[in-house]
Amino acid sequence: MTSLTTDQSATAEQVTADTLGTLLDAHLRRQFSDADRAELREQFRTQHLVPLRDFLSPELLDAMRAEAFGIMDGHGVQRDLVLEITDGTPRHMRTVGQPVIKDHGPLIHHFYFSPHTKDFMSGIVGEEVFTCPYAGEHYVISRLDRSGDTHGWHWDDYTYGFILVLEAPEYRDGGFIQGVPHTSWDKENPDVYGALLKSQVHSYHMNAGDAYIVKTDTTMHRVHPIRGEARRTIVNMTWVSAEDLTTPRTHETNDILFGGAGADPVAQK
Q: Taking a C-beta distance cutoff of 8 angstroms, is the pair 44, 202 a contact? A: no
The reply to whether the predicted model has a pTM over 0.85 is yes
Of 56, 60, 68, which Cα lies nearest the Cα of 13? Answer: 60
Q: Return the pLDDT at 141.
A: 98
Q: What is the pLDDT of residues 58-105, one digit of tens each?
A: 999 999 999 999 999 999 999 999 999 999 999 999 999 999 999 999
Q: What is the pLDDT of residues 175-212, one digit of tens each?
A: 999 999 999 999 999 999 999 999 999 999 999 999 99
Question: Which amino acid is residue 201, in one-letter code?
Answer: V
Mean pLDDT of the chain: 93
The Cα–Cα gap between 217 and 181 comes to 9
Measured CA distances, 178 to 29, 41, 143, 145, 153 (Å): 28, 19, 17, 18, 9
The Cα–Cα gap between 74 and 80 comes to 19
